Amino acid sequence: MAPTPEQLAKLLQGEILIDLEWLPDGVIGANGSVFIEADPSVVWRMLTDYNHLDKTMPKVVASKLVEENNHTKIIEQSGRSGIFIFEMTVHFTLKVEEVYPERLYFSQVSGDFKVYEGEWRLEALDGNNGPGTLLTYQAEIKPDFFAPQFVVSFVQSQDLPAILKGVRRYCEAHAKN
């Protein structure tokens, strides 16, 4: 869904927008958007450099491309998530469908979630300082371990902004090079 004019103004001022919703069966809908002062090709390169996401994306501790078939990729990842001292490492294998240069669909093939699927969307957008990218993340998440919906929602409210800020920081630094 396209941002409203008010949301777009906030994004262009550097705000990160997060929207979480409680869906049926304990699933959390997590949505986030950030404006990045970098061409979509820079953002795409960062998001699809699967073997190095542990160095470029916050919360990712390991990432490896294990299979490639044209625009379909299989990625093994581990990430750190949690609240305060109650952090844990989650492991999962994702199937990623690349639709260059605008979308990455992902869904868990195996791992620590009952539900983990969504997409990254990239949209070229003129910002206050020139061209850039509106990056949107949408996912449905439900762990395959005990975690009340309010806890998963709280964790996402903390993790998603950190991830989007990290992507913006990395891409803007590399756009200048």
User: Is residue 2 scored above 90 in pLDDT?
Assistant: no
pTM for this entry: 0.93
pLDDT digits (tens, 9 = 90+) for 126-171: 998 889 999 999 999 988 887 777 777 888 888 999 999 999 999 9
User: Is residue 83 scored above 70 in pLDDT?
Assistant: no
3 state SS of 149: helix
Distances (CA, A) of 45 to 4, 48, 104, 119, 172: 28, 5, 12, 16, 12
User: Is residue 109 scored above 70 in pLDDT?
Assistant: yes
Fold type of domain 16-175: Alpha-D-Glucose-1,6-Bisphosphate; Chain A, domain 4 (3.30.530)
Domain-wise residue ranges, the chain: 16-175
pLDDT digits (tens, 9 = 90+) for 21-43: 999 998 999 999 999 999 999 99
pLDDT at 151: 76
pLDDT at 143: 86
* Beta strand residue intervals within the chain, DSSP E: 17-22, 28-36, 60-69, 72-83, 86-99, 103-111, 113-127, 130-143
Structure tokens at 170: 């990395």
